[in-house]
Amino acid sequence: MRRDIFQAVADPTRRAIIALIALQAMTPNAIAEHFDTTRQAISKHLKVLTECELIKQEHQGREIYYQLEIDKMKEIDKWLEQFRKIWETRFLQLDNLLSTLKKQQK
């Protein structure tokens, strides 16, 4: 079953895992050390993130390292861009209104 990437990033633990491995590839045990939960719970989160293709596994000898899939993160950014434009427009309108009000007070 392929999961939706937004389902994956909805969970705060999975967002924290993404933030961790964005800096460097990590083993499941290294990731689990950063959380106050079981190794099994972290494995479930890693499975969801892998199914969503937000992270990928790389085998190095006997170890498995998880690393971030940057291209998938761009998919989230692309979706957010539409809202970013709305926010920027509204902030610009607010800035203009505040400037007008400030001029009127003088």
Average pLDDT, the chain: 91
| CB distance 18 to 55 below 8 Å | yes
Global model pTM greater than 0.85: no
pLDDT tens string 60-70:
999 999 999 98
Residue 53: how many other CB atoms lie within 10 Å = 15
Low-confidence ranges of the chain (pLDDT < 70): 1-2
In CATH, what number does 1-68 get? 1.10.10.10
Q: How far is CA 22 from CA 2, 17, 55, 101, in A?
A: 22, 8, 9, 44
Residue-level pLDDT at 51: 92
| CB distance 64 to 28 below 8 Å | yes
CA distance 48 to 33: 19
Domain boundaries, the chain: 1-68, 71-106
